[in-house]
Amino acid sequence: MIRWLLKRYVPLPKIGDAQRILCVGAHPDDIEVGAGGTVAHLTRTGKEVWFLIITDGGAGSSNPDQSRQALKEIRSQESAQAAAQLGVKKVIELGFPDAGIYDKFQVAQQIAKVIVSFDPDLIMSPDPGLASEFHPDHIIAGEAVKIALLWAGYPLAYRQQVGDITEVPINHFRPRTSAFFFTARVNQRIRFSAEDRLRQRQAIEAHQSQFSDRGEREMIDRYQRLRSMGFWDFGKGGTEGFFVLGGVHQHCFPEVNRY
């Protein structure tokens, strides 16, 4: 009963209500695979979407003779092409070392700067609480977003941890909705059209350095279709699931984990 009342009186924000969305990925292809259909749906319906990529993608090859610098440049170009397929307005690359050692608080500082500049209503990122996730870049991405959301919510915290606030409009410091993809605790689903699904596939195909093998791309496509069917979507489009939290749910609100 208490959970039912909380869901009614402290509901989750709806992803579709956001006008500006910042999508954070650990690697250049993460957002396209984890939330590309939703991004295509959002941009098609007039929403402004930016991508923020944390790492340089320089470790994404099984060839030991591959030049890391060359791969970073290739993946940056692929990321721009994929974003264009999805209608994304801007791609920001932080350049932290792919599969490297770096600090999540340093990442959070950079994300917080983008948040107060762009002033998004919603931030998407990988779920750092996924028990089966072993890749540290994915975990750091989600954890850094959580920290950045706190710092970007309060001007005094931002000034202490990030930097000067004199050039930032005071109304840019506010609570924001978070939506985690690559999650096992889905509490909100976005259904998208066949057109959006096609744009997602084209965006994934733009990452030729990662998915040059047609069989691998088909495997990803089958997995995404099966995941959609798990959400009772048997149409030609698709459905993606997210763990969504409003600003009020992001601190001292354990009941939201059972919404």
pLDDT in tens, 93-113: 999 999 999 999 999 999 999
- Per-residue confidence (pLDDT) for residue 64, from 0 to 100: 93
Mean pLDDT of 8-24: 97
> Which tokens hold the place of 228?
């959609």
- Per-residue confidence (pLDDT) for residue 213, from 0 to 100: 87
Average per-residue pLDDT in the chain?
A: 96
Per-residue pLDDT band for 160 (boundaries 50, 70, 90) equals very high
Q: Which residues are CB-neighbours of 126 under 8 A, at least 6 positions away?
A: 24, 25, 26, 30, 34, 133, 138, 139, 141, 142, 180, 181, 182
- Per-residue confidence (pLDDT) for residue 174, from 0 to 100: 97
Mean pLDDT of 150-169: 97
Neighbour order of strands in the sheet with 20-25:
90-96, 48-55, 20-25, 122-126, 177-181, 238-245, 188-192
Is it the case that residue 165 has pLDDT exceeding 70? yes
Burial class (CB in 10 A: 0-12, 13-18, 19+), 161: middle
> CA torsion, points 123, 128, 130, 133, in degrees to nearest 10?
120
> 92 has which bridge partners?
52
- Per-residue confidence (pLDDT) for residue 214, from 0 to 100: 86
- Domain locations in the chain as residue ranges: 23-258
CB 40 within 8 A of CB 88: no
Q: Give the predicted TM-score (pTM) of the model.
A: 0.96
Strands 177-181 and 188-192 come out as unpaired
Is it the case that residue 195 has pLDDT exceeding 70? yes
Q: What would the 3-class secondary structure string for 190-241 be? A: EEECHHHHHHHHHHHHCCCCCCCCHHHHHHHHHHHHHHHHHCCCCCCCEEEE
CB 142 within 8 A of CB 35: no
Distance of alpha carbon 234 from its chain centroid, rounded? Answer: 25
pLDDT digits (tens, 9 = 90+) for 204-238: 999 999 998 888 889 999 999 999 999 999 999 99
Cα 72 to Cα 77: distance, rounded to the nearest angstrom: 9
Mean pLDDT of 128-133: 96
CATH code of the domain made up of 23-258: 3.40.50.10320
pLDDT digits (tens, 9 = 90+) for 234-247: 999 999 999 999 99
Mean pLDDT of 151-168: 97
Q: Where are the alpha helices (DSSP H) in the chain?
A: 2-9, 30-44, 68-86, 104-118, 136-151, 155-161, 194-205, 214-230
- Per-residue confidence (pLDDT) for residue 4, from 0 to 100: 86
Write down how long the chain is: 259
Is it the case that residue 1 has pLDDT exceeding 80? no
> Which tokens hold the place of 110?
């950079």
- Per-residue confidence (pLDDT) for residue 205, from 0 to 100: 96
Nearest to 246, CA basis, from 191, 188, 190 = 188
